[in-house]
Each structure stands twice: as structure tokens, then as C-alpha cells.
Amino acid sequence: MFFIYIASFFMDVKEFGYTKESAFYTRYMYMFTHQNILHLIANIYSFHLLYKMVMKLIPEEIFVPLMFISGVLMTYGTEMSKPTIGLSGIAFLLLGILFAASPKQMYIAVIVTTILNTVFYYFNTNVNVFIHLSGFIYGIIIYLIYKLWNKRKNKNKNLSAQ
């Protein structure tokens, strides 16, 4: 991750992250680009904590491709004129998965996160709230689809065993 952060400074791009006018590849690279080392550390820390919990729910080989696909899908619909950078949208995706998996325990986390997101947006208008909210919604959708797929797979497995 640190290598990608350093490499992003040497890329031949006119913008630092994704905007509506950006080249197509910024839809993929914005997740790996950060404003500074503090931004990188904060995003990696929150990502790592939530990722460890999600890996107990969804196998890594299923989740990782969905995470990158969701990261790209989050860029559609955003109207930011300033560049969108960072991994926080994916952290909200992880939070959405955890919320869908155990909504009663996650209510407090969601309320606190929403309040913090609102406060950060108030003081820093560079925060792309759409990416955060869409990440959370995609997380809920991913978990519900995975749960239904896993239930159907187990049902078919039980039918073939009989």
C-alpha cells in the first residue's frame, strides 16, 4: 500500500484523484491515492480494523474482487468538482457489511460514524459524502446477496446429499 502511495506522486496525471473530468483510470486509482501520510495512516488503520471483522463473515476470495468493483461503482453518480481520493469509501463498505450482518450491535457505530462524517464535512468540504454513503449501501447489498447465495448453495448441497 505504501508503494502505491509513493508511486501515485510520480504518475503522469493532471489531477490527484477522481473527478468527473478525470481520465478513466482514476476511477480505479483514487482508492490508493491519499492527500498525505496522515490521511493514508488513518484510512489504513480503519480499513484494517474493519477488514479483519468482515473476513470472519465473507471469504477473502469473494470479498476482495467485490471490494474493487464497488470502489469503481461508487464513482458513478458523484458530482465532485474537487478530486476524490482515499480508502474511506471502502471503509464504509466494510461498515455496511458489518451493519447488515448484525444490525443491533452496529446501530451505535453507524450513528457515531454518521455524526463524525457530518462534522468532518462541515469543517472540510473536500469530503465526498456520496462515496461514503454509497459504500455503506453497497456493503449492505453485498452482504445480503452473499447471505442469500450461501443459503442457496447450502440448500443445493443438502439436496444433492439426500
52-97 pLDDT, tens per residue? 888 888 888 888 888 888 888 887 766 665 667 778 888 888 988 8
Is the pLDDT at 13 greater than 60? The verdict is no
Q: What is the pLDDT of residue 38?
A: 77
Q: Which residue has the higher pLDDT, 86 or 161?
A: 86
What is the full DSSP assignment across the chain? Answer: -HHHHHHHTTS--SSSSB-TTS-TTHHHHGGG--SSHHHHHHHHHHHHHHHHHHTTTS-HHHHHHHHHHHHHHTTTT---SSPB-SSHHHHHHHHHHHHHH-HHHHHHHHHHHHHHHHHHHHH-TT--HHHHHHHHHHHHHHHHHHHHHHHHHHHHHHHHH-
- Residue 151 is placed in which grid cell? 443459503
Provide the whole-model pTM. 0.76
Average per-residue pLDDT in the chain?
76
142-155 pLDDT, tens per residue? 999 999 988 887 77
Region 3-28: mean pLDDT is 62
Q: What is the pLDDT of residue 146?
A: 92
